[in-house]
Amino acid sequence: MNWLLLSLLLATSDAAARPVDFDTQIEPLLTRFGCNAGSCHGAAAGRGGFSLSLYGSVPERDHEAIAQQLEGRRINLSQPNESLLFLKATESIPHGGGPRFDIDDDAATLLLNWIRQGADRSDDRQLQSLQITPETIHLETLDETVRIAVQVTFSDGESRDVTAWSVLTPDDAATLDVRPNGEVSARRPGRHLLTARYLDRLVPVEVLLPLAPFMSLADQNAAPAADVEWPEGDNVVDREVRRRVRELRLPNSPDATPTTFLRRATLRLTGRLPTLDSLDAFPQACDVEVASSEQKLATQRIREARNKLVDELLASEAFEKFWTFQFVRLLRIRSQPQHEDSARTVYEWLRKQIAADRPLDQVARELITATGDTRQNGATAFYLAASDARQQAEFASELFLGVRLRCANCHDHPLDQWTQDDYHGLAAIFAPVRRGASVTVATSGTVIHPRTGEPAIPKLPGDRFLSLEEAGDAGLRVFAEWLTSRENGWFDRAVANRVWKLLMGRGLVEPVDDLRVSNAPTHPKLLDELAGRFAAGGRRLRPLIRLICQSRTFGRSSVPAHSDLHDEQFYSHALAVELEPEVLFDAVADVTGTAPTFPPTVAAGGRAVNLVARDVASDTLDVLGRCPVDAECSSASESTDTLPRALLLINGEFLNSQLAAPSGILSNLLAAGTSDRELVWQFYRRALSRNPASEELDFWTNQLQRADDERQRRAIAEDFLWALLTCREFMTCR
Amino acid sequence: MSLTIPDMNASSGLPACPSLAADFDLLTSNRRSLRRRDVLTIGSLTALGISLGPAFGCTMPVAAASADEPPPPHKPAKRCVLIWLDGGPSHLETLDPKPDASREVRGPLDSIQTGIPGISLSECLPGIATRLSRFAIIRSMTSPLGEHNFGTHYLLTGYRPTPVVEYPSFCSAAAFVRNAKSVLPSQIAVPDFRVGGGRFSGNGFLDTRFAPFSVGSDPAKPDFVVRNLTPPNGLDSVRLDRRRQFLNQLDEFRRRTDAVSPGRKTNVATTTGYLPGSSDSVEQAWELISSPQFRTALDLEQESPESRNRYGRRTVGQSCLLARRLIERGVPFITVNHHGWDTHTDLYTRLKEGFTGAKTPVGLIPALDQAVAALTDDLSLRGLLDETLIVIMGEFGRTPKLNTQGGRDHWPRVFSVALAGGGIRGGQIIGASDRNGESPDERPVTPGDLTATIYSRLGITPETTIHTSDGRPVRLAPADSSVISELT
């Protein structure tokens, strides 16, 4: 007989055959009907005097609240249907939360059966596994409905379908229609998520509905197929991205032109605009003179040229400096007020790690176990970013694990596995750290667990409690080893996700510090693969970057293949991203050829990306949208389109003084008697990294020729240059 | 409808929380009213920006009234001044004194009687006390969030913060739904919008052009100017116009090139081209720079010295004066950000005296009182008070007992806010805190309720739904909130 039928028979024939189990049946019921949600009795203070643990995480406490508190009035063993718990839940008497279920619902039956059987609790049965079928739902139309089934197995061997007792939550209620019986349909095309919860187990389900309804079916089918592979096959990035693109039937954009690729790769890897020399050399290297009829050969030539460029950029000093800048931001290095001297030390230390391409697990371990004078040991940076053990735990979880443990400060994380024990346990590991002019580790230190009022026991998040021997600096070493061990996937995934975002403009998981089951990556397998290869490659930064930048995906045009296509997460085209304020700041100086603005003591070469700390005072950078020192700045929707920024660009000294600079490139070109065409040509190449189209060249030459005298010519040239430095093409990496 | 449920708290020892119980009843009542109303769903944010039809603005604000509901008692307010007391003002030293409580609760300040029998306020609020007929005070605000960033997010958006969505403040959301095109910014913050620890942007998930525009300098300073509002020497209007034209030309070149990219298909009916990150704020900046209106509003020198003195020469006073000048020129939303209310230590000096041994008190409360009194007087005199809603609040209250450093710490469980103008029925106290100012004693009001009320007073239906950039619908005020009907 079919197991499903069998279990149905068992369930309906006689509940007494298997006593109703509190921990594995009644708790899920309370969760399913919202009783122990954070907004109801699951709130830290409970509600209406009745307090349950959030989503039934502490069954012994819940059982006590139900069966013993209020002099046992919540349960009436002689007349089960007179139990306060039952009367309230069915709103037979007034209930602040309204009726949760009806007296003839299955839930009512289950609850009454449990009370009839004595309302007992035995802790001998646990949830062992949870499976959902299907794990991915492929829909073809908006009308289509698919039913998912949630199957659990308990430690006593029983297996049953608990779809009706699970909480099925769409990630976004506007995108999915999810009914309690497990029926799912989509309200919009795209990739959507829902999570199923039973007890503490959360499993994501992906729902896919092709995203390009504006295209004809023939176009939909043709578009991705027409995109041929690279001659020597795909790399893993292309394989996984293409799979998703095909699932959603998105049209791919073609390869970016050589100059676009050059500008993108140079900006993303070094934070600088391409040199004028490379503007000639790179397109030449991409060009196939031999036999343009050979499509395959042409593609291969482009691929080789791109790979060579990426390698050159990776080996450059500019790369070193720019990625040091990324780490300065990640580690929230500050220079004011107490860390003035240490900031330089930290910067130099970071720079050395990047220069040597030191394995990042070693870097992380050194950061976590660093002690000593902050002016001498740059690795103390990690402890300068927080002011106490709890902050340190939050920072550590976000930085190294890519997870937001902070939700578990006051209550167990409602959407993830993290508990208060994890949060305060990790804080307890950091409790012995003393911060000041030097970082030291005491033999002990405590953090009070808010639930027990006692010192929290040090704990590895989501793992084991530390032993008494693992106190003081031993605890930090244990944490560092655990964090970077091969079995612990968090670190590798967090790094892979961040690096992906820095190169591609969007994290596979957004925000990048919020990795969790219910926030699944857009490309789950790709994130796993990148993390795996990062680990296998010795956890060095450069091979990971090379892998991504050598993909065809990295090198696509940023113009969507269809004007109605708004694909912001599947990489059917490259994402155009605004230049970071620091990069923009330096790029402007490079185009205008003006002297560096920051003193060399805080920034090598005066460049903004070389600033030793995130908080070196600069009004201009702040107005341009610099991320505050203590913020993660990982949100997907960072925008710098603000009125103060616009006013700065128009009226501020920032651009105007550089345009007028007597020693700038404009002044030099004018003094040298450069022709109008040459002026236009020069600045197009400097600012936009490309030659002007003939239409553009004509237009601007024409404008310059309207000048009556040299003074006017300069004014027009300045205005032209101003427009170049504020136009969208200049301000984005596209 | 009952606002409380039976306290079953006999054995647990946990405090019953009437506010939360009330939430639930209000929730059900709200559901009922929701069915009666047409929930208005307005436009949606697309990946590229806003797609609101031009006709949209006319249908929006007054949609609340439907046939079976009585007309609102007052016309909605056109404008709003939010006086934000950043850091969390002590309710016990301001709007909710407890003269009969023990010394450590009562605190160092005396209280004074107001024009309304039985109602007393802090001794430092004589201006508000004598004008109490204009003010409604809510003494039973309650929130569970006692951290600056969280509390600020809750009070300014009506929603508790979550990592999933950053909600927009009512300042920004109001600007968004009204979507009025004007040269002057739709919301201005004086002197800045650094609120609640500085992590709150104001616009939330809305485009940054709906972020409050900070004037960025202190109107109390003699050299007060709005940064970068004036072009530098040598940049006359001819050149500004040329730059504007050149910039548009470059963006247009790009758009045209992209439109004919290899392999690209274009739906001519829906789009004119693709250009990521087109800047609306640059367009607005051009308008603003050439607006004499804005420059005049900002020129406080045009006020007589007497007028400036009436507001008080401190930042909050001159900010309120600037707010009045902007209101007169039709700016719909002004946030006066009054810093410094996080008084963990030495609250007597900071709240009352300003500096130790001051002959005339110039602390936070007297400065605020003087500014608010002058602002409401001036608006009233000009007939603008009825159409201008004034809201005075911070992110939470402060602990009922003084701490050992003569200060009070964060206390969100009960606190007070004051409202005036904009059709608010003055001279009333709504709700009450208990004997020691620890918890709401009656009529608990959540920040969600307050937000719903502010929207409603501004003529915006609180149930209005807006969308995040990925299409998630968000109600302006949370589903479990309801308008504080006694206020009008």
Q: Which residue has the tokens 């959902």?
A: A132
**Cβ-Cβ contacts under 8 Å for B253 (sequence gap 6 or more):** A693, A695, A696, A699
pLDDT tens-place string over residues A51-96: 998 888 889 999 999 998 888 889 999 999 899 999 999 988 888 8
Please say whether the beta carbons of A374 and A380 come within 8 A: yes
What's the residue count for chain A?
A: 734
pLDDT of residue A296: 73
Q: Counting runs of H as helices and runs of E as strands, what totals does chain B give?
A: 14, 18
Confidence of residue A18 (pLDDT cuts 50, 70, 90): confident
Q: Is the pLDDT of residue A212 over 90?
A: no
Beta bridge partners of A138: A208
3-state helix, strand, coil in chain B (%, to 5): 35, 15, 50
pLDDT of residue A462: 87
Question: What tokens appear for A215 in the block?
Answer: 């295209």
d(CA A501, CA A402): 13
Residue A650 to residue B286, Cβ atoms within 8 A:
yes
In this structure, which long-range contacts are made by residues A408-412, counting pairs with CB atoms below 8 Å and at least 24 apart in sequence? A409/A450, A410/A44, A410/A450, A411/A38, A411/A44, A411/A54, A412/A53, A412/A54, A412/A55, A412/A57
* Alpha-carbon distance A514 to nearest alpha carbon in chain B (angstroms): 9
A156-179 mean pLDDT: 89
For chain A, the distance separating the N- and C-terminal CA atoms, rounded to the nearest angstrom, is: 60
d(CA B170, CA B333): 10
pLDDT tens-place string over residues A434-461: 998 899 999 888 999 988 889 999 999 9
Residue B276 to residue A734, Cβ atoms within 8 A:
yes
pLDDT of residue A236: 93
pLDDT tens-place string over residues A387-419: 899 999 999 999 999 988 877 776 666 666 788
Residue B239 to residue A98, Cβ atoms within 8 A:
no
Residue B264 to residue A639, Cβ atoms within 8 A:
no
Q: A154-175 burial, b for 16+ CB within 10 Å, e for fewer?
A: beeeeebbbbebbbbbbbbebb
Strands A372-373 and A167-170: unpaired
pLDDT of residue A442: 93
Q: Residue A109: what residue type?
A: T
Tell me how many degrees the CA angle A497-A501-A507 measures, rounded to the nearest 5: 60
Residue from the list A628, A643, A651 with its beta carbon closest to the beta carbon of B281: A643
pLDDT tens-place string over residues A223-253: 554 566 676 677 999 999 998 988 888 888 9
Residue B253 to residue A652, Cβ atoms within 8 A:
no
Question: What tokens appear for B349 in the block?
Answer: 């000096």
Question: What tokens appear for A637 in the block?
Answer: 């929707």
pLDDT tens-place string over residues A513-545: 888 877 889 999 999 999 999 999 999 999 999
pLDDT tens-place string over residues A100-152: 998 889 999 999 999 999 999 988 898 999 999 999 999 988 889 999 999 99
Residue B229 to residue A647, Cβ atoms within 8 A:
yes
Confidence of residue A264 (pLDDT cuts 50, 70, 90): very high
**DSSP state for residue A399 in the 8-state scheme:** I
User: By C-alpha distance, which of B49, B58, B287, B295 is closest to B180?
Assistant: B58
CB atoms within 10 A of CB A247: 18
SS3 of residue A159 by DSSP: strand
User: Which among A39, A577, A639 is the top mutation candidate for probing chain B, defined by the most B β-carbons within 10 Å of its own β-carbon?
Assistant: A639
Element (H, E) at B49: strand B49-50
Element (H, E) at A208: strand A201-209
Whether the ω angle into residue B332 lies within 30 degrees of 0, i.e. cis, is: no
CB atoms within 10 A of CB A128: 15
Chain B partners within 8 Å of A654 (Cβ): none
Chain B partners within 8 Å of A518 (Cβ): none
User: By C-alpha distance, which of A120, A111, A151, A161 is closest to A10?
Assistant: A161
Please say whether the beta carbons of A462 and A454 come within 8 A: no
User: By C-alpha distance, which of A603, A607, A611, A604 is closest to A587?
Assistant: A607
Helical pair A524-536 and A541-549, crossing angle rounded to 10 deg: 140
d(CA A411, CA A450): 9
ipTM of this complex: 0.86
Q: pTM of the prediction? A: 0.80
Q: Is the pLDDT of residue A166 over 80?
A: yes
Backbone torsion region of residue B412, taken as left when φ is above 0, otherwise alpha when ψ lies between -120 and 50, otherwise beta: alpha
Task: Tell me the residues of chain A between 556 and 615 that have a Cβ less than 8 Å away from chain B.
Answer: 557-564, 566, 568, 576, 578
CB atoms within 10 A of CB A624: 24
Q: For the residues of B406-418, what is the DSSP string, one character each?
A: S---EE-SSEEEE
Residue A49 to residue B249, Cβ atoms within 8 A:
no
Residue B163 to residue A514, Cβ atoms within 8 A:
yes
CB atoms within 10 A of CB B102: 11
For B82, phi and psi rounded to 5 degrees? -100, 120
Q: Which residue of B has its CA nearest to A726?
A: B247
Chain B partners within 8 Å of A719 (Cβ): 239, 242-243, 246
| Residue-level pLDDT, tens digit, chain B, 488 residues | 333 333 333 333 333 333 333 333 333 333 333 322 333 333 333 333 333 333 333 223 333 334 444 445 568 999 999 999 999 999 999 999 999 999 999 999 999 999 888 899 999 999 999 999 999 999 999 999 988 989 999 999 999 987 667 899 999 999 999 887 788 889 999 999 999 877 788 888 888 778 899 998 899 999 998 889 999 988 999 999 999 999 999 999 998 888 887 777 766 554 444 444 456 788 889 989 988 889 899 999 999 999 999 999 999 999 999 999 999 999 999 999 999 999 999 999 999 999 988 888 999 999 999 999 999 999 999 999 999 999 999 999 999 999 999 999 999 999 999 999 999 999 999 999 999 999 999 999 999 999 999 999 999 999 999 987 655 678 999 988 999 999 98
Cα-trace Rg, chain A: 30
Residue B249 to residue A723, Cβ atoms within 8 A:
yes
Residue from the list A84, A174, A727 with its beta carbon closest to the beta carbon of B251: A727
For B398, phi and psi rounded to 5 degrees? -130, 160
Q: Is the pLDDT of residue A337 over 90?
A: no
* Alpha-carbon distance B309 to nearest alpha carbon in chain A (angstroms): 30
Comparing A255-259, A339-343, A583-587, which segment has the lowest mean pLDDT?
Answer: A339-343
Half-sphere exposure of B321 (CA within 13 A, CB side): 26
* Alpha-carbon distance A377 to nearest alpha carbon in chain B (angstroms): 31
Element (H, E) at A194: strand A190-198
From residue B447, give the alpha-carbon distance in Å to each of A645, B86, B160, B484: 32, 16, 9, 11
Q: Residue B253: what residue type?
A: F
From residue A106, give the alpha-carbon distance in Å to each of A109, A110, A154: 5, 6, 21
